[in-house]
Structure 1
C-alpha cells in the first residue's frame, strides 16, 4: 500500500516542495532506504508481519514529515523514526514476539549490493540467539540492536532514543549481560573440545557468527 494514499491533498505538495529544496522525494526515499528500514524493523520486531507493518508506518510518517525535515543525517532520522515507532508499539502490546529467523527471511533482509552498514544487519543469528534477544525489555533490545547490529555509536543511539549517554551505556551493558546469561547453556563442558556455536562476547553481537570454543 502506498503511504501517499493516507495523505490529504495538501500533504501531496510536500513531495514536490522537498524535491525543489533538494530534500529527497518520497519515491527516492523508499527506493534508497526501504531495505535498511526493513532490516532494522525486523531486528526490532522479530518477525516478518510486524516488520512489514512497522516499515509501512515508518514511510507513512516520513511522507507526512518531509516538509518539516531539517537537513542533516537522513539515515539517523530514519533510525529515530523506526526505533521510536517500535518502542511505542512494544509498550502498547506489553510483549514482543520474536520468531526464528528462517532462510527465506534472511534472504529478504539482504540487499542486492550490501553496504558496510548492511553487513551488520545481515548477520544470521540462530534460534538460540533469536530467543535470547526476545527476552530483552524493549528499551534494552533497541539499544543493543542499534549498537551491535546497526553499528551506531553510543552518542548516536542516545540521540535516537532521546536519552542520556549513561543510560544508553547501561542498557547496552545490561542487555549484553542478559544475552550471555540466556546463552550460558552453550558453554562447552569442562575437559571437552567442541563447537558450542555463537556466544555473546563482552563486545556484543558483532562477533557472534563463526566462533568456536575449545579447551
Structure 2
C-alpha cells in the first residue's frame, strides 16, 4: 500500500500521510467491508483518497490564484532488489510522473507500475473502461514527451562511399 501511495504522491512525506489516512479509513470502514478481495479494497481506498487530496489541493491553488483505485494485487512477494527498485524511481522519471494530472498519474501508476488490468483500474477509479484507456494513453504520451531526452538516439551515419572512390 505504501508503494502505491509513494507512486501516486511522488514523495515520502505525502506517501506516509496518505498511507496513514488509508489505515484510518480502513479502521473506520471495516464494519462495512463486504467479503471480497481485500487488496482491491485497499487499492480503491488509497486511490480515492489520493484523488480527493489532489482535487482539494488544486481547488485551494486555483481559488488562491483567482481571488488575490481494483480487485487484486500480485500475490507473490517481490525480491529485495525489486522492492528497492519499486520504491526508488530515478529522479527525472519521478518528476515526470509528478507533473502528470492526478487522474492520468493514477491510471498510469495502476497500469504500468502496479500491473492492474484496464478493467481493474476502471473498478478502482470508478470510471468507464474508455476513460481508463484515454487517461493511460494521454498520461503515457505526456510521460514520453517529458522523458524524450532519455530516448536512445541513432548516431549520425557517415556518408556511404561508392566502389572505386578513394576515401
| TM-score bracket relative to the smaller structure | 0.7 to 0.9
Shift of residue 123, structure 1, vs aligned partner: 6.3
CA distance in 2, matches of 1:68, 1:188: 51
Which one has the bigger helix percentage? 2
Equivalent runs, 1:40-55 vs 2, <5 Å: 40-55=4-19
Shift of residue 114, structure 1, vs aligned partner: 3.3
**Residue from 94, 102, 117 that aligns with 1:138:** 102
Runs of 4+ in structure 1 deviating by more than 4 angstroms, as ranges, are: 118-121
Q: CA RMSD in A?
A: 2.4
User: Normalization by structure 2: what TM-score?
Assistant: 0.76
Secondary structure in 2 matching 1:122: helix
Q: What does the per-residue CA deviation read over 1:40-63, in whole Å, with 9 as the maximum and x for residues that have no partner?
A: 111111111111111111011001
**Residue from 170, 173, 192 that aligns with 2:134:** 170
Structure number with greater Rg is 2
Structure 2 residue runs without a partner (length 5+) = 60-75, 157-167
Structure 1 residue runs without a partner (length 5+) = 1-36, 96-112, 193-215
Task: Work out whether 1:157 is the aligned partner of 2:93.
Answer: no
Secondary structure in 1 matching 2:20: helix
Match of 1:68 in 2: 32
CA distance in 2, matches of 1:164, 1:89: 22
Count of residue pairs the alignment pairs up = 139
Shift of residue 131, structure 1, vs aligned partner: 1.0
Match of 1:115 in 2: 78
User: Normalization by structure 1: what TM-score?
Assistant: 0.60
CA distance in 2, matches of 1:89, 1:131: 19
Q: Conserved in 1, the CA contact under 8 Å of 2:3 and 2:87?
A: no
Q: Conserved in 1, the CA contact under 8 Å of 2:6 and 2:87?
A: no
CA distance in 1, matches of 2:46, 2:108: 15
